[in-house]
Structure 1
Amino acid sequence: MTQQTSAPEPARPLIGRDTRLCMSLSARPGNFGTRFHNRLYALTGLDYVYKAFSTRDLEGAVRGIRALDIRGCAISMPFKEAVIALLDGLAPSAAAIDSVNTIVNDDGVLTGHNTDYAAVAALIVDIDPATRFVLRGSGGMAKAVAAALRDTGFRNGVIVARNEPAGRALADLYGFAWAADLHTEEQADLLINVTPMGMTGTDADALAFPPAMITTSAIAFDVVQYPPETPFLRAAAAAGKRCITGTEVAILQALEQFVLYTGVRPSDAQVADAAAFARAHG
């Protein structure tokens, strides 16, 4: 039996005093972003390094980004909205939805961006906008998804969120209905999970939508990145539904982060290599 080996690690500059540091902040850090960015740095010959962090002190972490001249920082749940007050300004992509998933540091000036929106819009562009959807969640990523739905022509959908003020505000902002709980008898061809349900830890076994709704749907979209196959996506795939994964979102949004940090847009082949490497080693 032939033993499979991964592609060799490309040569990269040795880490030194001029190496630029980029990072991520998440409640539950994974390896995908770290592997993806570092692989692209190596493939493009850039003197950068990327490291994932978690924190219980968001304000202190952001001060560290500024004080240590860290070039960029990816922001994940649950920090996407709370971080805004700690920044110097917002790019239009973040200001439009009051949610930040990327910080760029220009000589101590911290600007918030949002690359989630573009990633989601690209992944749903081929879906008929007349499709009825149910979106579960009301946080920062939910704003990006709802905005992308609205801006690509979707009008017939409901935001499901137990947090009534946040859920109603999100629904009203983008012209959708709101509900506090799922109604299993409701028909929707597109189901979108934008909650931690299905993530590792206490939510690992949670099914974001009940089997009855999955059975009558056509498309399952889960923004959870890790694990790459959540209980919701496994159930949808078993039922023969089209699945859009959090990994797909992660690749597209991370690519735009890479460009913001470095000013370099890698080739399609380099992106495919980095994505395959990150999936294999994540």
Structure 2
Amino acid sequence: MPKPPIGRDTRLCMSLSGRPGNAGSRLHNHLYDALGLDYVYKAFSTTDLPAAVGGIRALNIRGAAISMPFKEAVIPLVDHLHATAAGIASVNTLVNDGGILTGYNTDYSAVRELLHAGPADPAMPFVLRGSGGMAKAVVAALHDLGWRDGTIVARNAATGAALAVRHGYRWADTLPGPGAALLINVTPLGMEGADANVLAFPVEMIAAARVAFDVVAQPARTPFISAAADLGKAVISGVEVIVRQAVEQFVLYTGVRPTPAQIVAATRFAHGDAAADQLALAFGLAEGRPA
């Protein structure tokens, strides 16, 4: 079914971010087109968060992705917190039902799904590097899935120690020696830009591990993921996180769940061939690209 032309009945979804990008808009709009849904998605920024959230209510905007620096500041402005957001005090998604706003955290949902279905298991000791907003979602998912032996490594003693204590893990300000079976990077190390060539963990730690998990999505294959794959380790990539969390937002807004093939096609349009090929492998789809 072709997507209807934009008209008065078209539902608007949006994102609010300190630094808006294009990837989310491209992915959501590609899926609207593929599924013939009368929706449109647009990225925004704001210097007045209360007014922006009031606009979501007043204009009946169906949903909004919430990015830094608004994930915690938006909490007092919503009517309800879903369990995915309440448990970590961080919101990355708003859903508007007739002027009633509910805050969700699909980062948590995506990470929990990947950990539950992926190559890691709760018997594996882990070392997680980072203590920011995304780290809160990952650590909560680990705890809720039954991981009990873990170390949070963060230079910020206040946030790192608090995150560790809250979930019953250890905190350290420097990396321990090799030994953890699961390594998780939740820092910008390896991200495009100044840290692009930085390896999140020493090769010795990667060699001793069994699973490497990197939340960095750009590039699709970070130095950490590349090193782990070259050493024959199982990997979970940031592309899997960023796309799966966006798909969960899409489902919350529309009530429609795309197929894996549709998700891979939307990822190719939004994030490029490397990300789409990596996601296709994760979904167990053919590696080859469409002609």
The alignment's TM-score, normalised by the length of structure 1, stands at 0.85
1:95 aligns with 2:122: no
CA contact (8 A) 1:223 1:249 kept: yes
Which residue number in structure 2 is paired with residue 174 of structure 1? 167
Q: Secondary structure at the match of 2:212?
A: strand
1:221 aligns with 2:213: yes
Which residue number in structure 1 is paired with residue 139 of structure 2? 146
Which residue number in structure 2 is paired with residue 124 of structure 1? 115
Which residue number in structure 1 is paired with residue 282 of structure 2? none
Which residue number in structure 1 is paired with residue 286 of structure 2? none
Which residue number in structure 2 is paired with residue 160 of structure 1? 153
Mapped to 2, the partners of 1:200 and 1:79 lie a distance apart of: 23
1:31 aligns with 2:22: yes
What is the letter of the counterpart of residue 80 of structure 2?
A: G
Which residue number in structure 2 is paired with residue 3 of structure 1? none
Mapped to 2, the partners of 1:39 and 1:98 lie a distance apart of: 31
What is the letter of the counterpart of residue 147 of structure 2?
A: F
Which residue number in structure 1 is paired with residue 9 of structure 2? 18
Which has the larger displacement, 262-271 or 86-95? 262-271
1:260 shift after superposition: 0.9
What is the letter of the counterpart of residue 130 of structure 1?
A: A
What is the letter of the counterpart of residue 99 of structure 1?
A: S
Q: 1:194 to 1:61 in 2, by over 3 A?
A: farther
1:121 shift after superposition: 1.8
What is the letter of the counterpart of residue 176 of structure 1?
A: Y
CA contact (8 A) 1:43 1:270 kept: yes
Mapped to 2, the partners of 1:57 and 1:226 lie a distance apart of: 29
- Per-residue CA deviation, residues 105-137 of structure 1 (Å, 9 max, x unaligned), is 223332210122221122122423111111112
1:86 aligns with 2:86: no
Which residue number in structure 1 is paired with residue 34 of structure 2? 43
Question: Quick one: higher RCO (CA 8 Å, sep 6+), 1 or 2?
Answer: 1
- Per-residue CA deviation, residues 169-188 of structure 1 (Å, 9 max, x unaligned), is 211221111112223x2421
What is the letter of the counterpart of residue 14 of structure 1?
A: P
Which residue number in structure 1 is paired with residue 59 of structure 2? 68
Q: Secondary structure at the match of 2:194?
A: helix
CA contact (8 A) 1:133 1:191 kept: yes
What is the letter of the counterpart of residue 87 of structure 1?
A: V
Mapped to 1, the partners of 2:47 and 2:178 lie a distance apart of: 39
CA contact (8 A) 1:194 1:224 kept: yes
1:37 shift after superposition: 1.2
Q: 1:32 to 1:237 in 2, by over 3 A?
A: farther
1:261 aligns with 2:253: yes
* Identical aligned residues as a percent: 63
CA contact (8 A) 1:100 1:140 kept: no
Kindly report the root-mean-square deviation, in angstroms, between the aligned alpha carbons of the 2 structures.
2.4
Which residue number in structure 1 is paired with residue 194 of structure 2? 202
Q: 1:108 to 1:200 in 2, by over 3 A?
A: farther
Which has the larger displacement, 39-48 or 269-278? 269-278
- Per-residue CA deviation, residues 193-233 of structure 1 (Å, 9 max, x unaligned), is 11222223333333322333223222211112222222322
1:258 shift after superposition: 0.9
CA contact (8 A) 2:78 2:101 kept: yes
- Per-residue CA deviation, residues 92-116 of structure 1 (Å, 9 max, x unaligned), is 2211221111111223332210122
Mapped to 2, the partners of 1:191 and 1:33 lie a distance apart of: 27
What is the letter of the counterpart of residue 71 of structure 1?
A: R
The alignment's TM-score, normalised by the length of structure 2, stands at 0.83
1:89 shift after superposition: 2.3
Structure 1 portions without partners, runs of 5+: 1-9
Which residue number in structure 2 is paired with residue 133 of structure 1? 126
Which residue number in structure 2 is paired with residue 241 of structure 1? 233
Mapped to 2, the partners of 1:197 and 1:72 lie a distance apart of: 31
1:251 shift after superposition: 2.3
